[in-house]
Structure 1
Amino acid sequence: MITSIATLRPEECAPVPDAGLGALVTERGNLPLESVDVTAAVSGLIAGVEVVQGFRNPHDVALEATYVFPLPDRAAVTAFRMEADGRVIEGILKERGQARADYDRAISQGRRAAIAEEDRPDVFTIRVGNIVPGERVTVHLTLNQPLPYEDGAATFRFPLVVAPRYIPGAPLDGEQAGAGWAPDTDAVPDASRITPPVLLPGFPNPVRLSLAVSVEEAGLELREVRSSLHVVREEGATVRLQPGERLDRDFILRLSFDASTSLALTPDGDEGTFVLTVVPEPARATANPKDVVLVLDRSGSMTGWKMVAARRAAARIVDTLTSGDRFAVLSFDNVVEYPDGLGEGLSEASDRNRYRAVEHLARLEARGGTEMLTPLERAVTLLGDSTGDRVLVLVTDGQVGNEDQILERTGARLSGVRVHTVGIDRAVNAGFLGRLAGLGGGRCELVESEDRLDEAMEHIHRRIGAPLVTDLSLKADGLHLIPESVSHLGSIYSGVPLTVLGRYRGEAGGTLTVHGLDGAAQPWERRVAATAVDNLAARAIWARARLRTLEDRYASGDHSLEGEIVEVSLKYGVLCRFTAFVAVDSQVVAEGGPGHRVIQPVEAPSGWENPVAAAMPMTLTSMAQASPPAPGGRPGGAPGAAPKFAASGMGTGAPPAATAGGFAGHARMMPAPTRSPRQVRPQEPSREQLTEELERLRAAASLPAADRLRHLEDLGSRLAALAVHLGGHRELAALAEDLQSGGDVDTLWRRAVEGLEALIGSGRRGPFWKR
């Protein structure tokens, strides 16, 4: 039973006067999104959620509405349906290209249809087509999400707005992937899909937000509930958001209770899903010398309280180092800077050097663009020759669009490096920061206010130090595990339960034993007996985790995984980036298709400066004059055209800026993308030539390490020359650079094989986001 709800920080939660989301009054009415209703049921460490979005067409012709919105990055979307005019149309999960074809065909035929697509682990797009004049249509999403647990508290986090993201790279010619304010670039080829226009302040009547969370204690004693927004307690164990809150930040609910070690089995036919939770006993880990590289984001989007919190967080990390450690500090925006007197390498963590680093951090102010790739590559290079514990800490809001490029360029090189990310924002890019930390077996800590900082840094400090147990492995007794299904084991840290998911065959029974080494290199183990439970969400959560692992490997260059990703998604009914839910009505309601296409503006995230509309004024064209694109074209008009919005003599939802992020400070020093009259795309390399290189590489696999390293350097030089010959082939150049940079020969060898395989397999199909 919930007896009280503590507010995380009241002054941060007060609504901003005269601001709202998506309710622009025009001569023809409002923009289409009327309401967002979120209903969650928390049971133990799992939450089941239903999201209902209500759309209305106030115009006199049929409408297609597009809404770009966030969901929790670890959530598994398992169902989708559309309701209109008393009709209920269930969505079907299909390969993304097929789902789009079905949707476009239905829209062109005048039938109602809706499609839900994933663009990032936490960014989704819904299109609803042929909403007839005056009609209301609702779409329903069903999802399940795990709740992270640490130091006696679980966290339910639900994001409510997609914050503007920095978009690096040169604009691409041709049809754009979406209808956003940023053009697609060579670094972010789907930028136009993740950059919805931002509504300027001053418009009342925001979208009606309803959010309710019921908490089932499931045999646990719930001691305290804390919320980031104003909530009220209702009868029983339900909390509800107070009316008037806006979709401009993450909603966070922290639930304090004691978790316990368990092994839960959920059968489904001849197979089943297991969830193993091991809660460690309180203990102090043995501190080992370590090399730590701290990377701090000082770009324009970090303005205000975020920069203050980031400086404090970085200084706290530096202060926790000991004289046996080495460290480096890199601060970045468009350029990378180092503390005076420390240079660009690793320095001893002496009192003098730590003082210099803290002095440097104290002087930093937010400015410029979020060019994150270069500092991360330098950090990985610094740690490449380390022989001790290697730790990389990134402090940022994560608001970048080139997540896949960053993972592709750094993913393989993070092997053996513990990566911890500290995300500071009220609408943080949790999906990317979680993916980056996951590749390095580290922790992603999210900080939504300065009050939360001390607690978050305590968690990071514990993770930077040595873990309690390492070299983990599982042994099953009486339980037949499916080996490739078991999630990454990682290490065990004080106060942080170990959670392992996987699949099994046969009877639901037996035990699992976790083996490892403690801080003194002595054997450690925990044996846990299985209990059969009725928890259907476990299957979906496991499938989502499996899909994320495969998608990250795909983003890192292994494009051969596409077929497996689609197969897993369709088999377990969980949405991913390669599939989409599509709901198509059989009834024809709008001859000729929609007369208007509108992308819903989103609100500026709380704590960000106001959009700079003057940086790139939007074309304000009456929706009545907007000509519908040909069937299958992207929303917003003809391919490549800017999206059009209704206007009545005043500003509307607008792109923040032609440069990324679009807010004062964030845009000041960003490279403005310019489109040349004609850009020449790089040619594709010969598959025969790459196949020959791959065969030569495999034939040399048994050579001594020194000879293999020379072989890789020679291969890198050939690929670099080929990339130049082809007009600047990005993937080839990146692979060549990695092979010539040196490092661990086995890691480089795998990178070479995987990179060549991906290049050989590429070119057969277009990018999945443009199919």
Structure 2
Amino acid sequence: MKSPNLIYDTDNNVILDKVDVTGYVCGEFVEFSTSYIYENRGGNDVEAVFTFPIPETAVLSGFEANIGGRTIKTTIESKEEAEKICDKLKEESSNFLLEEINANDFKISIGKIISGETIKLKISYIEELEYEEKSLKLTIPQIVEPINIENSKNLMNENDYKCYLNLLVEPFNEVEFESSTHDIAVEKGDGYIYKIYFNKTEYLDRDLVIYITEKELEETTGMIYENPKDNSNILYLRFMPDIEEEEENLVHEYEFLVDISSSMEGEKLLQAKNALQICLRSLNDKDTFNIVAMGDTLHYFNEGGKVLYNEENLILASKFIDNLQCEDDALIFEGIKHGLKDDHKGKENTILLFTDDIVDDEKEILDYVEKVCENSRIFPFGIDASVNTYFINKLARITYGKAEYINDNNKIEDTILNQFNRIRGLQVTDIKLDFGDMNVEKTYPRTIEYMYDEEPFSIFAKVRGKAEGVVTLTGMVGERRVQRRVSLNNLELEENANVIEKVWYKKRCDSIEQRIRFERSEVYNSMKNKLIELSKKIGVLTSKTSFILIEEVYDPVLNTAFKKFLPVNIKYEESDNIDDFCGVYYRNSLNKDFSEATRKEMMRILASYQFASGAFSDSILDTSEDKILYTAKSIIGFTEGKEEINIYKNLLNKGLSYIVYALNDEIENYSETTIIACYLAFNQSLKRIIIKNDKKSWAKKWNETFEKELIKRNIDINKAETILKSSIENEKLEDNTLKGLIDHLVLK
């Protein structure tokens, strides 16, 4: 995560004097306010710029500056109105300028800070926290000391400032907190209220990361926020379906449609190739697939149609992907027609389409798909900002798929893998909500097309009058009917509705932003005006609004204060964010010095080296024990870090199944190192909760089997990890081989 930063000129001594972070966490949402106090202790005046990023899942909700007695705050206007105001201010001179670089990066030109002057800056934003292994991850970015652009070495000592933390956490249920980055203290109040602060002197010289884990993760829970002023309540409900699998795995048919037009040249095509390699390795036995590259003509992996997923076809498909080259055009319409050619026969086909192209004949394509498609679903991936969002969203909507978008901060592999996991997993469809006798004014989302197994899903509802009784959710999993109920009488009634009310309106804005992409003309303009109205009401940015700075200027003659506009420059530029990894890999050659690679980079490469059987191996000629050992160590490498590994969940479960299959109940015939690796693989997989509930007893049984075998061989299981890593360290670590990659990942 990037960091807030003050940059100034001339050889002076601007210091960071104080940082104060306050936050209110409500369920999966948080509003942060961070104050920074800087002081110019040098002998000369300086010109300064303050840059601050906010997380990708956050939206800026406020900015305030106090500089030399001037108080500057923000208000929100439509982008058109903001540009008009800025045009009028161009002739005026102002040292203060707020620049919106992109949706998550801002820069403030503060202007002159005179010697001895103190400035105070305050940033506020609302963030939707993300789950990592069933825990909510809360991150507060590190703070970089002021940087003198004329002197790379700052004159002040590092961490010579006061730093305070005050978080109020209001979760759904009883929770535990863990931070490996800072020493935090937790105070529990009445009910489910917690206060978090630093236990000792700490600094934000590194990201502060706190994991919030519910002691019992319930399928259905929620909160009620009461607003006595207008006799209303906001319901905030969370569903996390845990659906039992059918005894027999469903067989899926896949069609991968890949744009290879000239605009995909370079990194985008390389990322798409790597993503396809990993998608193939997420298929199961009896699945069928085909790959169609859409260029000047259609290029088929198999001219005769879909093939069975097995080792031989996986190897051939991998070579086909590696050999793809860009051409001038992309026959998107012809590719979609091919994907739907058997739809009239009642065959369900899952189509994954990824493209960065602007489609010219969108109406003709959409009309065709709406007429022909009855059984298939299309999951389009729009790559790059120039993609036709209306077309992508409409295509997904009319086929009951889901659209995703790739941007600078979100690698194509992650997006596709998350989507693919949803497709492979169980889904609840035909969802209906029953609020009983409650007077519900609005809900977000308005309609629910899908819920995915073990993925949290939040629902908001505004209720006029009393909020009591039971909310019932019903849906279908295949041919089965499922039902989940939330008793509102068991939920906590909260009085502080400030954050959740902002979230409620933000969710309404999100809903309009999603739907406005499908519209044109009058409907589009009506939705745009509503979006601007809600954005101004809650003070949160949307795609149709921008910040305006206002300074209150006091006139002593008239004894009154006037509001003065200051300029805001909305100049969307390429982000200068550099990711931890390049994401460009070839399957044919590792060609990598793994000692310098990050864990995320190594996991991405390793994921593309799994065979259809589930084994991690670079050669079908490896011995059975080599494959078991490589697979077990690969699973250890994936599971022992703190990285998000949900996108690899299916691959890792296949690896565990392969180990059991390959052992063939002859565990006593394998080496000590192999058994230790198998034990650690199962043990850590259970700890990281990557195994579904209905398979946990199976995994625990094998974990116990490996443990008993180690005890039988007089091996201390508490030293198993140390023994394995020592055996790796005693060998020469290799580069450019799969074995070397796996060993580096285990030791990293």
Under a length normalisation based on structure 1, what TM-score does the superposition of the two structures give?
A: 0.52
The alpha carbon displacement at 1:388 in A equals: 1.7
The verdict on how the C-alpha distance between 1:252 and 1:284 changes in structure 2, with shifts beyond 3 A counting, is farther
Superposed, 1:635-714 pairs within 5 Å as: none
Q: Is the 8 A contact 2:467 2:488 kept in 1?
A: no
**Map of 2:190 onto structure 1:** none
Tell me the distance in 1 between the aligned counterparts of 2:338 and 2:142: 37
Q: Equivalent residue for 2:481? A: 522
The answer on whether the counterparts of 1:95 and 1:580 sit within 8 Å (CA) in structure 2 is yes
Residue 289 of structure 1, aligned match among 252, 260, 278 = 252
Q: Partner of 2:422 in structure 1?
A: 463
Q: How does 1:136-175 map to 2 (within 5 A)?
A: 137-149=119-131, 151-156=133-138
Distance in 1 between the 2:90 and 2:109 partners? 9
Matched, 1:91 2:74: yes
Q: Of 64, 67, 72, which aligns to 1:81?
A: 64
Tell me the distance in 2 between the aligned counterparts of 1:154 and 1:421. 23
Distance 1:267 1:475, change over 3 A: same
Other-structure match for 1:497: 456
Contact 1:64 1:598 in 2 (8 A): no
Residue 550 of structure 1 and its aligned partner are, at CA, apart by: 2.0
Which residue identity does 1:408 align to in structure 2? Answer: Y
Query: Aligned pair in 2 of structure 1 residues 25, 219: CA closer, same or farther (>3 Å)?
Result: closer
The answer for the alignment partner of 1:607 in structure 2 is: 580
The answer for the alignment partner of 1:216 in structure 2 is 169
- Note the 1:113-512 alignment, pairs <5 A: 115=98, 119=102, 122-128=103-109, 131=112, 137-149=119-131, 151-156=133-138, 214=167, 216=169, 218=171, 220=173, 222=175, 225=178, 231-236=181-186, 237-238=196-197, 244-245=205-206, 254-257=211-214, 258-260=216-218, 261-268=220-227, 269-284=230-245, 287=250, 289-293=252-256, 300=266, 314-322=276-284, 325-329=287-291, 341-342=301-302, 349=309, 351-361=311-321, 383=339, 386=343, 387-388=347-348, 390-392=350-352, 402-403=384-385, 405-415=387-397, 416-419=399-402, 428-429=409-410, 462-483=421-442, 485-512=444-471
2:494 aligned residue = 533
Q: Which moved more, 1:122-131 or 1:144-153?
A: 122-131
Q: Return 554-563 or 375-384, whichever deviates more.
A: 375-384
Name the structure, 1 or 2, with higher relative contact order (CA <8 Å, separation 6+): 1
| Alpha-carbon distance change, 66 to 232 in structure 1, aligned in 2, over 3 angstroms | closer
- Letter of the 1:77 counterpart: L
Output one character per residue of 1:427-473: Cα deviation in whole Å (capped at 9) or x when no partner: 8248xx8xxxxxxxxxx957xxxxxxxxx96x655412252421111
Assess, with a 3 A threshold, how the Cα gap between structure 1 residues 243 and 146 changes in structure 2: closer, same or farther.
closer
Q: Which residue in the other structure is 1:577 paired with?
A: 543
Give the corresponding residue for 2:700: none
Q: Does the aligned pair in 2 maintain the 1:284–1:468 contact within 8 Å?
A: no
Number of aligned pairs? 508
More helix by share: 2
Distance 1:273 1:315, change over 3 A: same
Change over 3 Å in CA distance of 1:215–1:363 after alignment to 2? farther
- Quickly say closer, same or farther: Cα 1:476–1:607, change in 2 above 3 A: closer
1:479 shift after superposition: 1.8
- 1:586 Cα deviation (Å)? 3.5
Per the TM alignment, residue 41 of structure 1 is displaced from its structure 2 partner at its CA by 4.6
Structure 1's unaligned 5+ residue stretches are 1-12, 162-198, 434-443, 447-455, 610-771
SS in 2 for 1:235: strand
What amino acid is the match of 1:354?
A: L
Higher deviation after alignment, 256-265 or 35-44 = 35-44
Amino acid at match of 1:95: S
Identical residues among aligned pairs (%): 15
Q: How does the TM-score come out when normalised to structure 2?
A: 0.53
Q: 2 CA distance for matches of 1:599 and 1:54?
A: 28
In structure 1, what is the Cα distance between the partners aligned to 2:251 and 2:197?
46
* Separation in 2, partners of 1:226, 1:399: 35
Do the aligned partners of 2:502 and 2:538 also contact (CA within 8 Å) in 1?
yes
Provide the C-alpha distance between the structure 2 equivalents of 1:220 and 1:482, rounded to a whole number of angstroms: 27
Q: CA deviation at 1:56?
A: 8.9
**Aligned-pair CA distance for 1:83:** 1.8
Give per-residue Cα distances to partners, 1:161-195, cap 9 Å, x unaligned: 9xxxxxxxxxxxxxxxxxxxxxxxxxxxxxxxxxx
User: Which digits, 9 at most, give the CA deviation of each residue in 1:33-74, with x for residues without a partner?
Assistant: 99998654545422221245778999999979585x643344
CA distance in structure 2 between the partners assigned to 1:105 and 1:51 by the alignment: 32
CA distance, structure 1, for counterparts of residue 98 and residue 518 of structure 2:
28
1:337 CA displacement: 11
Question: Based on CA coordinates, which of the two structures has the bigger radius of gyration?
Answer: 2
Structure 2 alignment gaps of length 5 or more: 187-195, 357-379, 556-563, 583-748
Q: 2: distance between equivalents of 1:379 and 1:160?
A: 47
Confirm or deny: 8 A CA contact 1:488 1:500 kept in the other structure. no
